[in-house]
Structure 1
Amino acid sequence: MAHHHASLEFLLSRASTDNLVEPPPKGDQLRDILSAALRAPDHGRMRPWRYTVIKGKHREAFAQVVLEAMDRQEPDAPAAKKAKRRDRFSSMPMIIALGMHIEPDGKIPVIEQEMSVAAGAMNVLNALHAEGFGGIWVTGAFSEDRALLETLGLKEPHRLAGFLFVGTPEKPVEGRKRADVDDYMAIWKGEPVTFGADAG
């Protein structure tokens, strides 16, 4: 095993978890974690990040907003799926909505604005890990519900990249075995490359 600098070892040790308990980050610590998002690549300085934090007594009310959005966007969703979503949104220590403030007619392609939001979310997950917290990124069709977006301050054409559930890991996070990077990288030497991941 190669010797890694401690910072790289830290990045390699991050894994998502939804086994989360109190406390979540708060105050200046939360501000610093979200500030890490603003260090993401941002072509054209579009600053597309918009973070809405839901915590404490407001989680239950927001879980109801999510259920109403599900009723509109996923009317055939099984009752068990709705119950699980209500439970998760009302019981996770903290929820961070990943707003995307998109300018469709701006000078920067929309996909680059979206990628900046995604890069910001990854920075948040890494910053949470650095501070001893955990998180998981979740999405669903309900995230496209216009009424839900409006309550999060996201008017048309702005959208959501999903939500981060945030808290303290209930037990040490053991990441699943990662894929072999050799299947996902190639060295270009003047000829078209192939990837092991695409074989077969």
Structure 2
Amino acid sequence: MDALDLLLNRVSVTRLVEPAPSAEQLQLMFRAALRAPDHGQLRPWRFLTIEGQARDRLGELFAEALRLRQPDASEEVLQKPRKMPLRAPMLVAVIARPVPHPKVPEVEQLLAVSCAAHGLLLAAHAQGLGAVWRTGEFAYDRHVAEGLGLTAGEQLLGFIYLGTPEGGLRIPPALEPKDFVEQWSGESSL
């Protein structure tokens, strides 16, 4: 796939079915992720792959987190978080692990991890796979983070759901750069 075609046509795919990415496809996705801009070459990221029965365990972890926040939640309400990880055959947890550095603030390191996740999304699309980056309440829940084994200094930035697009890839809407880009004249607008 041509690089510009990839950049102009990547879309999030929410309807994902088997098969999950192969080991070779996954390796290419992680190799692409590791090429993210990384001031200081700190590599402030790590990833967890979640597939098979581990998806069921993640769903239970989500349900536990919800029960801790809402002790009166009914079994019916707890079923939704249990099913969330089953929407794709594979998930990748994106984890930021910033390190103290005199010239690279934590925010730059979080941006680097986000770029790594985007590289993974692009590499999935380039291989004809479907992917969507999901966040939501469970991505920012401390119980979930602890259940996944994150340390005190690490931060979960979300989950990338991966699989085969059900029904193919959609065509992204055309966006016009002029709607988002302005030229700054160098003068203050105050």
* TM-score normalised to structure 2 length: 0.87
Match of 1:198 in 2: none
Rate the CA distance shift 1:60–1:11 in 2: closer, same or farther, 3 A: same
Q: Deviations over 1:36-76 (max 9, x none)?
A: 11100011111111100000122111210121122234668
Paired AA for residue 70 in structure 1: L
Tell me if structure 1 keeps the 8 A contact 2:140–2:157.
Answer: no
How many percent identity over aligned positions? Answer: 37
Out of 36, 40, 44, the residue aligned to residue 48 of structure 1 is 44
2:112 is equivalent to residue 125 of structure 1: no
Report the number of matched residues. Answer: 188
1:91 is displaced (CA, Å) by: 4.2
Paired AA for residue 30 in structure 2: L
Looking at structure 1, the residues matched to 165 and 5 of structure 2 have their Cα atoms a distance apart, in angstroms, of: 19
Superposed, 1:69-88 pairs within 5 Å as 69-73=65-69, 82-88=78-84
Paired AA for residue 101 in structure 2: G
Q: Deviations over 1:95-145 (max 9, x none)?
A: 110011122x33321100100010011100000000110111111222233
Q: Deviations over 1:139-177 (max 9, x none)?
A: 122223333223323100211001011101011221442
Superposed, 1:128-143 pairs within 5 Å as 128-143=124-139
Looking at structure 1, the residues matched to 14 and 185 of structure 2 have their Cα atoms a distance apart, in angstroms, of: 42
Gaps of 5+ in 1: 194-200
Superposed, 1:3-42 pairs within 5 Å as 6-42=2-38
Looking at structure 2, the residues matched to 75 and 177 of structure 1 have their Cα atoms a distance apart, in angstroms, of: 42
Gaps of 5+ in 2: none
Secondary structure at the counterpart of residue 63 of structure 1: helix
Superposed, 1:37-116 pairs within 5 Å as 37-73=33-69, 82-103=78-99, 105-107=100-102, 108-116=104-112
Paired AA for residue 122 in structure 2: N
1:77 is displaced (CA, Å) by: 7.5
Tell me if structure 1 keeps the 8 A contact 2:97–2:155.
Answer: yes
